[in-house]
A and B are shown apart, each in its own frame.
Chain A
Amino acid sequence: MSEIKTIALLGQPNSGKSTLFNNLTGLHQRVGNWPGKTVEQAEGSFVFDGVTYKVVDLPGSYGLSANSEEEVVTRDYIQSGKADLVCILVDASQLERSLYMLADFVGIRMPVMLVLNMMDVAEAAGKKIDVSAIEKRLGVPVLGFSAAETERYPEFFKKMVSAIKTPVCLDSGSLREEFVGEKSNGEDVVSRIEVALGDFEYGVCEKIWIAEKLLEKDKLICGVVNEMLPFARKNAIDAILDSEEGRDGGILTGEAKYRWVSKIVRESATPKSIEKVFSKWDRIATHHIKGKFFAFGIMVVSLVACMILAFPGMGIGFGMQPVLQSLVERAGNALGVWPVVISFINLVLVGGTCITICMTSFIFAIIFVFRILEEIGYMARFSYAFDNWLSRLGLQGKAIMPLFSGIGCTAGAVCGTRVLDTRGQRLLALVLLWAIPCGSKVAVVLFLASTFFGSAAPLFGIGYVALIFASFYLSSRLFGKKLVPQNERVGMIMELPPYHKPHWKMIAAMVGRSTWGIFKKALKMILMVAALFWALSYAGDGNVENTLLYKIGNAIEPVTMFFGMRWELFVSYLGGMFSKEASLGIMSTLFNHTGEAFSLVTRVAASENLGEALASTITKPEALAFLFASMFNVPCVLAMGTTYREAGSFKWLATIMGYYLALSLGLAFIGYHIGLLIF
C-alpha cells in the first residue's frame, strides 16, 4: 500500500485554482457534494514518485470569514486538519490584494505553501517580484508559478514534496506586531482578548486568530466561544468587543492584515497604469446600455461559434448512422444472423452511439467557448452588465450566458452553469434552463402548432415565450428561496479580472478531458435507455400491436387521457424525454404507418405527410394538450445526464424532472379541458 498525502488548494476567485487542480489531477477527479451541504466538492488525485497525492479543491472565497456556505465549508475543512499541506494560491499580478487570504490564514497551525500564480502576467505587466525575499520573510515555502504553463510543473512538484517533508506553519508574530502597533505590549485589543480567552483551545487555530474572528463578529466563532467559555471570561470579552475599538473590529483587523501584506510586497510593488487595466474597450463593456448590447453581440457570436464547432461532430454522427446500419444489415444477412440481433445492433448500439456523438459535439462546443470567455476574463463583465436583471431571479449576472446558450442545446448549456459561483445558483440556473427550448424543441413545437392551428401558429409562439417567462417566475418563487437564501442575495461586490490571453494548449486539454468524460457517461446512459426502449418496442413481425409498449400504452390510456393524451401521443411524449427527434420519429411510426420499426434512434424530419396523418387522426383538444406537454417536456436524455453531473445528486435531478413533468402534464390537462370547451 503506497503512501497517501492530502493537499488542499485554497485561493480567491480568479486565482487560477481550478487550472492548477485540473492540470494536477487530469482525468482522476470526482465532483460531489460536501456531506450535508449544497456545496460542490471537487477531489482528485495524482501519483508522483510513488506517492499518491489527494487534491482537495476548496471553494473559492476572498477570505476565511464564515459569510456563506462555501466559506464555512472551506474553513471547516482547514480546521479539520485533514490536509498534509494547504497550498494557498494568490494572483501575482494583484499581489497586495490577493495576499489578504494568506494574512487571514495567519494563526492557523497548518503546514502551508504559498503559490504566486500568474507570474507570467505579472512579468508582462512589468512587475518584478522577489520570490526568495518573500519566502525569507514569511518562513514558509513560496513558489513563483504559472498554472497554465504545463512545462513549469516540475518546479511545483519539487517544492510541494519538500513542503510536505518539512512542514512549516506561518508564524503569527509579525501579524501581532501590526495589532500592537504603537501601543505598549499587551494593551491592544487583540492581546486583551487573548488574555481573556485564557486557556481556551480550538483545534489548529491560535488564540490570535480566534481574537481576530471575534473582532470581525464571525458568527461561528462567537457561537463556539459563547458555548465553551465560563461566564466571567465571556463577559470580559464582550466588554472588550463593546469598547470603542472593539466595535469597529472588522475594520481594525482588516487594516492590520493589509499593513502586514504591504510590508511583504513593498519591495516588489510597481503599480500598473490605469489605462492598461481599464481600457476604452472596458468603458464600453461596462456601459449601462452599450455594455448590454455589446454583451448580446458576444452572446450571439458565441452561439454561432458553438454551432460551427459542433458541426463536424453532428455531421459525423448523422452521416455515419445510415451507412453503418446498412452495413450491419448486409453483413448480418450474409452471415445469417437472427434479425433480432441485427435490430438490436442497429437500433441500440449503432443508433445510440451516433446520437451520442451528435449530442456531445454541441456540449464540446459550449464547454470550449465558455472556457475561452472565462479565461479571457469576459465572463465577469457579463456579471457586471446583467446584475440588475438577473438578481431579481436570485442569480448572478453571468447566468445570462448559460441561459442564452440553452437556445442552442440544453445539455451543453447545463454544463455551462459551472461558471456560476455557488451551488445554489447553479441549481437555480439548472431549473430555469430546462424551460428554455433548444433548437429541436422549438422545431417540434412550431411543427405541431402549424399542423393543427395553421395561421394561429404565431400566436402560440408568442404564448410560448410568455409561458417561459411565467415559468421563470414560478421556478424562482418555488426554488429560489431555498437555493439562494435571502441573506446571500447581497449586492454585487466583485473583482473584474484583467483580460488575459487564453492558453490554448491548456484549454484544449481541459475541454478534451471533460468532453471525453461526458461522452463516456452519456454513451452508457443512452445505450441503456435505447436498449430498454428497444426491448419494449421490439416485435418480431414488425406489427406495432405485438409490442410490449402497445400493451402497456393501452393499459394506461385511461389515465393518460385524463391529460388529453391517447397512448400514441403519450409514448411520443415519453420519447421526447429521450430526444425531440425521437418524439417525431415515434409519431411518424405510429400515425404515418411508414412500416418502420419504431425506435428512439430513427430520426425523421417533420414532414408534410406526418402533418396530414396527425391532423386527420387527432382532435384539436388533444393537439392542444400535446402541444403544451411538449413545450415543458423534459429536454432530453443527455440534458438529464449533464444535469445529474452538475447537480451532483440524484435527488435534485429527480426534483427537477418531477417539477417539469408536473408542469407539462398540468398544462396539458388545462389545455385539453379548455380545448374541450372551445372546439
Chain B
Amino acid sequence: MGYKSFRIVVSPFGAVFCAGFGYFWRMKNAEFVDRLSLAEMGENRCGTVAQIEGDSRFISRIVSIGLTPGSAFTLLKNDGRSPVLVFCRDTVIAVNHKESSQIFVKVEL
C-alpha cells in the first residue's frame, strides 16, 4: 500500500478525531462559554444580572450604584473600548470595561 492510499484512508479518521476533540474541549469549558459577562453583551439588549464577582470593595461599589443580582437592565452602549453603559433602575450607569467583565448576565432572547 502506497503512501497516497494510506492518506486517503486515514484522513477521514483524522477529521473525525479533530471534530471530536473540539466538541470535548467545548464541553469541558461549557460553563465559561455559556456564562456571558456584561463586557461581551451586545448593544440594545435587555438582560438581568446573574452574578457579580470581585472583592468586597468592588461589590459594595457596584451594589450601591444599583446593580444587584436579579436587576433588569438594558445595555445601551458597549463598543469594546469605552466604559459599558447600562440603564438600570431609571439610571444610566457607566462601568469600566475591565470591571464589567466581572458582572455576569442572563440575556433575554
Contact = CB atoms under 8 A, between A and B. Distances in A.
B59 A251 contact: yes
Contacts of A282: 92
A495 B59 contact: no
B76 to A, nearest CB: 5
A498 B92 contact: yes
B81 interface: yes
Contacts of B94: 384, 492-496
A97 B82 CA distance: 24
A65 B60 contact: yes
B93 A494 contact: yes
Contact of A62 (B58, B64, B82): B64
A203 interface: no
Nearest to B87: A274
Interface in A29-79: 61-63, 65, 67
A97 B64 CA distance: 8
A277 B83 contact: no
Contacts of A253: 63
Query: Which of A218, A255, A278, A491 has the most B CB atoms < 10 Å from its CB?
Result: A491
B74 A274 contact: yes
Contacts of A360: none
A255 B70 contact: yes
B93 A495 contact: yes
Contacts of B34: none
Interface string B42-83: 000000000010001111111111101111001011010111
Interface in A189-209: none
Contact of A251 (B63, B81, B82, B93): B63
Contact of A250 (B63, B76, B81, B96): B63
Contacts of A385: 82
A250 B92 contact: no
B82 A491 contact: no
A495 B68 contact: no
A272 interface: yes
B103 to A, nearest CB: 10
Nearest to B66: A97
Nearest to A93: B90
Nearest to B95: A493
B40 interface: no
A67 B60 contact: yes
B61 to A, nearest CB: 5
Interface in A449-494: 487, 490-494
B86 to A, nearest CB: 10
B34 to A, nearest CB: 21
B56 A217 contact: yes
Contacts of A278: 76, 85, 87, 92
B56 A216 contact: yes
Interface string A65-107: 1010000000000000000000000000111110010001000
A217 B60 CA distance: 9
A535 B85 CA distance: 61
* Number of chain A interface residues as a range: 35 or more
Q: Specify which of B56, B76, B83, B85 lies most central, judged by the most chain A CB atoms within 10 Å of its CB.
A: B83
Given A384-B82, A491-B96, A493-B96, A254 B63 contact: yes
Nearest to A66: B60
Contacts of A154: none
B91 A94 contact: yes
Contacts of A254: 59-60, 63-64, 68
Contacts of A593: none
Contacts of B58: 490
Contacts of A286: 77, 82, 85
B19 to A, nearest CB: 39
A387 interface: yes
A503 interface: no
B26 interface: no
A255 B69 contact: yes
A384 B96 CA distance: 9
B98 A491 contact: yes
A650 B74 CA distance: 48
Consensus secondary structure, chain B interface: mixed
Contacts of A524: none
Given A67-B57, A251-B68, A492 B83 contact: yes
Given A97-B90, A100-B66, A258-B71, A493 B52 contact: no
B35 interface: no
Contacts of A288: 79, 81-82
A216 B87 CA distance: 25
A274 B68 CA distance: 20
Contacts of A551: none
Nearest to B61: A493
A264 to B, nearest CB: 13
A496 B98 CA distance: 18
Contacts of B56: 216-218, 250
A277 B82 contact: no
A384 B81 CA distance: 11
A271 interface: yes
B60 A496 contact: no
A100 B64 contact: yes
Given A93-B90, A251-B52, A495 B65 contact: yes
Given A94-B91, A258-B71, A388-B82, A491 B60 contact: no
A152 interface: no
B82 A250 contact: no
A254 to B, nearest CB: 3
A283 interface: yes
A494 B65 contact: yes
Contacts of B71: 258
Interface string A244-279: 000000110111001000000000000110100110
A112 B26 CA distance: 56
Contacts of A104: 64
Contacts of B95: 491-493
B4 to A, nearest CB: 55
A60 to B, nearest CB: 12
Contact of A65 (B64, B77, B85, B89): B64
A95 B83 CA distance: 24
Given A67-B57, A288-B81, A492-B94, A62 B65 contact: yes
Contacts of B89: 94, 96-97
Given A97-B88, A254-B64, A490-B61, 19 more contacts: A61-B64, A94-B89, A97-B89, A97-B90, A104-B64, A216-B59, A251-B59, A251-B68, A254-B68, A277-B90, A278-B85, A387-B96, A490-B99, A491-B83, A493-B62, A493-B94, A494-B93, A495-B91, A495-B94
12 contacts: A62-B65, A93-B90, A251-B52, A286-B82, A490-B57, A491-B83, A492-B95, A492-B96, A493-B61, A493-B94, A494-B94, A495-B65
